[in-house]
């Protein structure tokens, strides 16, 4: 069964609604469509929640008007029915915000319920328009679509038992479009949960993995691009991308699809198509396929932390006098294991990690936003090591399996950057040879991206 996901900009206007219907109407049924909140609504809900925490329940008039405007083109009877369903959900939202205002605090389960309303509103709008266009539609939220999750607030994970629940809920013998709220699940205690950043993509790819796929993600971009269009003037569409390259791309700063959304598709072996909602162009296809283009990404605001043993030296004797011994490889590995285990508990994933010195020196490159958490881990675990922090850095990465086994490829990267006068603070290549990452001064990041894109994407496209 095919699963389509429509992003938050798809229902923003009458033209968007009509385009969504055009995408859905010719598809074989049953069909699953997954909806995000209207663009910006999740942020609005968070802002309303914060205002309520201050002690006063905020008005919902502006938020309600945004959703009523989407229904304005419907016939009066259809509009009245959809508005009645919205009434019930807005009343629930108002009660929750009143409770927050009275308490002056937000329990984590209440926060998830409030943040989930964006998707729970949008499915009502989409279903109303599909029904009005003669397309039978059924709204499903959380466990109604089989999405059963763990209880972690704001970052719940879909449970294994969801597979059977999804198959029971989304039956293959019904001539209907299942309209599913993305981003939302239900935990074992019956509380609504949210799946975190990229949650609607994750809902779509998970459902497709159970139902046989494919997953088609409609976006307001042409597809996956070889570079950030805010930096690169002429990025190209990556027509084919291997699962593993897509994982690297999501990790290193070109997040057209969330990292967690890739795993269900990869494990099930189904493809993900990323298509332009606005134009009828060829999609980017993620799957067990050869990658068609290299991509250049940038993570700004990076911090490097150098860990150096306080008393260690590789020289064990001088003038016949014994000095402090160098740390054994086993001790260094044990230290790394402890640090990485603690970082995993805090949800921090290093961008780059090197340990190549006989003195036991370790370098970590992390996002600046993670600095406080990492420094806390190092203070507790890195006994006997001093830490030196270097900031005002950026991580620039060249990603794609087409570089694998290419002799001299890394040297060409160095030559390209040197030609622009850019110094490389550190470099790492993944064992799979799918990614080369360099740490450069933040002020050089833009020039590095442009130089690498020109050399490895634009000139290659011209056959140079």
DSSP 386-453: EEEEEEEEEEEEEE-GGGTT-TTHHHHHHHHHHTTTPPPSEEEE-TTS-EEEEEEEGGGHHHHHHHHH
Q: Which two tokens stand for residue 299?
A: 């993570």
Residue that wins the pLDDT comparison between 89 and 282: 89
Report which of 405, 400, 398 is spatially closest to residue 434, judged by C-alpha positions.
Answer: 400
**Alpha carbon 34 to chain centroid, angstroms:** 16
Which CATH number is 3-220 given? 3.40.1160.10
pLDDT of residue 458: 92
Q: Rg of the chain over CA atoms, in angstroms? A: 25
On average, the pLDDT of the chain sits at: 90
Strand blocks (E) in 270-416: 272-276, 284-287, 295-309, 317-318, 321-322, 352-354, 362-367, 385-399
- The stretch 142-168 carries a mean pLDDT of 96
Evaluate if residue 69 carries a pLDDT over 80. yes
221 touches 10 (CB < 8 A) = no
Asked whether the beta carbons of 25 and 95 are under 8 A apart, the reply is no
In angstroms, the CA 58 to CA 201 distance is 30
pLDDT, mean of residues 179-208: 96
From the list 157, 227, 220, the residue with the least C-alpha distance to 187 is: 157
Average pLDDT of the residues in 420-424? 96
Q: Is 325 helix (H, G, I), strand (E, B) or coil?
A: coil
pLDDT at residue 40, as a whole number: 93
Mean pLDDT of 246-273: 89
Is pLDDT at 379 greater than 80 in this prediction? yes
Confidence of residue 461 (pLDDT cuts 50, 70, 90): low
- Token pair listed for 176: 């209907």
Where does residue 396 rank: exposed (0-12), middle (13-18), buried (19+ CB within 10 A)? buried
Total length of the chain: 464
- pLDDT for position 359: 67
Residue 358 has pLDDT above 70, yes or no: no
What would the mean pLDDT of 401-418 be, rounded to a whole number? 91
Name the nearest CA neighbour of 3 among 118, 121, 140.
Answer: 140
34 contacts 200 by C-beta, under 8 angstroms = yes
Confidence at residue 13, expressed as pLDDT on a 0 to 100 scale: 82
Q: Residue 347: how many CB atoms within 10 A of its CB?
A: 9
Q: Which residues pair with 305 in a beta bridge?
A: 364, 389
**C-alpha 398, offset from chain centre:** 19
Stretch 83-93: mean pLDDT:
97
Residue 256 has pLDDT above 80, yes or no: no
- Name the residue with higher pLDDT: 220 or 331: 220
User: Mean pLDDT across the stretch 340-353?
Assistant: 89
Domain ranges of the chain: 3-220, 296-461
Average pLDDT over residues 402-407: 86
Between 359 and 196, whose confidence is greater? 196
Q: Is 105 exposed, middle or buried (0-12, 13-18, 19+ CB in 10 A)?
A: exposed
Q: Please give the pLDDT value at position 291.
A: 93
Residue-level pLDDT at 142? 96
More reliable by pLDDT, 222 or 84: 84
Confidence check: pLDDT of 464 > 60: no
Give me the pLDDT at residue 325, please: 55
Residues near 354 by beta carbon (within 8 Å), at least 6 away in sequence: 362, 363, 426, 428
296-461: which CATH number, 3.40.50.1100, 3.40.1280.10, 3.30.2130.10, 3.20.20.70?
3.30.2130.10
The token pair that represents 35 in the structure block:
């909806």
- What local confidence, expressed as pLDDT, does residue 155 receive? 92
For 272-325, the pLDDT digits (tens) are: 999 999 888 889 999 999 999 999 999 999 999 988 887 654 444 445 555 555
Confidence at residue 326, expressed as pLDDT on a 0 to 100 scale: 57
Average pLDDT over residues 26-35: 97
Mean pLDDT of 346-355: 87
Q: Are 201 and 217 in contact (CB under 8 A)?
A: yes
- What distances in angstroms separate CA 123 from CA 53, 109, 156, 189, one per listed residue? 28, 22, 21, 24
């Amino acid at each position: 069964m095919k699963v389509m996901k429509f992003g938050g900009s798809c229902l923003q206007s009458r033209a968007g609604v009509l385009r969504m219907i055009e995408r859905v109407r010719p598809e074989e049924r049953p069909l699953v469509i997954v909806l995000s909140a209207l663009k910006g609504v999740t942020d609005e809900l968070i802002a309303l929640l914060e205002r309520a925490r201050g002690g006063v329940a905020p008005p919902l008039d502006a938020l309600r008007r945004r959703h009523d405007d989407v229904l304005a083109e419907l016939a009066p009877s259809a509009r009245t029915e959809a508005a009645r369903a919205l009434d019930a959900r807005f009343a629930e939202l108002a009660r929750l915000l009143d409770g927050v205002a009275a308490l002056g605090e937000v329990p984590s389960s209440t926060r998830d319920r409030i943040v989930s309303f964006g998707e729970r509103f949008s499915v009502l709008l989409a279903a109303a328009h599909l029904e009005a266009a003669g397309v039978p539609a059924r709204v499903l939220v959380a466990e109604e679509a089989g999405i059963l999750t763990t209880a972690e607030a704001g970052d719940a994970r879909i449970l294994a038992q969801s597979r059977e629940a999804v198959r029971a809920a989304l039956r293959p013998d019904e001539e209907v479009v299942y309209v599913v709220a993305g981003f939302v699940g239900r935990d074992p205690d019956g509380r609504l949960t949210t799946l975190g950043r990229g949650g609607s993509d994750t809902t779509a790819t998970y459902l497709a993995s159970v139902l046989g796929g494919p997953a088609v993600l409609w976006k307001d971009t042409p597809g996956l691009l070889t570079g950030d269009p805010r930096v690169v003037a002429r990025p190209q569409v990556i027509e084919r991308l291997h699962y593993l390259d897509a994982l690297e791309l999501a990790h290193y700063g070109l997040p057209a699809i969330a990292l967690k959304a890739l795993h269900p598709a990869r494990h099930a072996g189904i493809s993900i198509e990323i298509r332009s909602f606005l134009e009828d162009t060829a999609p980017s296809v993620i799957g067990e396929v050869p990658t068609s283009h290299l991509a250049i990404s940038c993570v700004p605001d990076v911090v490097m932390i150098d860990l150096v043993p306080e008393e260690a030296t590789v020289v064990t004797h001088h003038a016949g006098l014994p000095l402090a011994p160098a740390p054994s490889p086993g001790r260094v590995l044990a230290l790394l294991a402890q640090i990485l285990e603690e970082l995993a508990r805090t949800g921090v994933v290093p961008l780059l990690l090197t340990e190549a010195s006989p003195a036991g020196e370790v370098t970590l490159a992390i996002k600046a936003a993670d600095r406080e958490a990492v420094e806390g881990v190092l203070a507790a675990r890195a006994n006997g090591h001093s830490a030196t922090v270097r900031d005002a850095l950026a991580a620039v990465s060249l990603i794609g399996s087409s570089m694998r086994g290419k002799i001299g490829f890394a040297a060409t990267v160095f030559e390209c950057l040197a030609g622009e006068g850019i110094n490389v603070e550190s470099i790492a290549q993944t064992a799979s040879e799918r990614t080369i990452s360099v740490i450069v001064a933040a002020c050089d990041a833009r020039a590095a991206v442009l130089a690498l894109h020109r050399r490895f994407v634009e000139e290659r496209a011209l056959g140079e």
